[in-house]
């Protein structure tokens, strides 16, 4: 592991920072795992280093995890296609909204092409850390203007 700082998220604003860091990260379906006994969801992704500015095109391997995960569902993702590559667009948290002090809710990981993973969580508890040093990316991700 590198000496990269760990980003933690325990509220929506924190998760927005992690989401921004992971925009355009790519991962194989097989690198996204739900560990029900540990109540943990883990992902290993190759993230584009947006924080390095416009002149640098590098990626780094990063680990993301969510704790207190009660269930995971996927939509438009073939979970058995372990080698298929997904491109992450955003991560969002929606509180349970049941009017109580319940800290739980749903975390949605949205992928290009309409894929999504929904995590039901007891509370928002996530962390992101870089696992390797950077390497040159093949190109810079682009997005169409809406």
Please state the φ and ψ torsions of residue 36, each to the nearest 5 degrees.
-60, -35
pTM of the model: 0.88
State residue 101's pLDDT score: 75
State residue 144's pLDDT score: 61
Is 120 in a helix, a strand, or coil?
Answer: strand
Rounded distance, CA 125 to CA 11, Å? Answer: 8
Give residues with Cβ within 8 angstroms of 53, minimum separation 6: none
In this structure, are residues 11 and 126 in contact, taking their beta carbons and an 8 Å threshold? no
State residue 92's pLDDT score: 97
For the chain, 146 residues long, give each residue's pLDDT as a single digit of tens.
Answer: 455 568 999 999 999 999 999 999 999 999 999 999 999 999 999 999 888 777 778 999 999 999 999 999 999 999 989 999 999 999 999 998 766 677 899 999 999 999 999 999 999 999 999 999 998 887 677 666 54
- Parse the chain into domains and list their residue ranges: 7-133
State residue 5's pLDDT score: 62
Exposure on the CB side of residue 100, measured as CA atoms within 13 A: 6
Please state the φ and ψ torsions of residue 90, each to the nearest 5 degrees.
-165, 160
State residue 56's pLDDT score: 77
């Amino acid at each position: 592991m590198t000496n990269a700082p760990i980003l933690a998220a325990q509220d929506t604003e924190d998760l927005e920072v992690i989401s921004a860091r992971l925009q355009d990260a790519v991962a194989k379906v097989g690198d996204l795992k739900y560990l029900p006994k540990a109540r943990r969801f883990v992902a290993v992704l190759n993230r584009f280093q947006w924080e390095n500015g416009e002149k640098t095109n590098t990626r780094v391997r990063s680990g993301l995890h969510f704790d207190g995960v009660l269930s995971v569902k996927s939509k438009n993702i073939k979970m058995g296609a372990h080698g298929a590559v997904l491109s992450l667009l955003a991560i969002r948290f929606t509180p349970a909204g049941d009017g109580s002090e319940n800290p739980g809710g749903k975390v949605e990981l949205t992928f290009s092409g309409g894929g999504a993973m929904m995590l039901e969580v007891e509370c928002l508890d996530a962390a992101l850390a870089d696992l390797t040093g950077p390497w040159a990316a093949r190109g810079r991700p682009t997005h169409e203007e809406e």
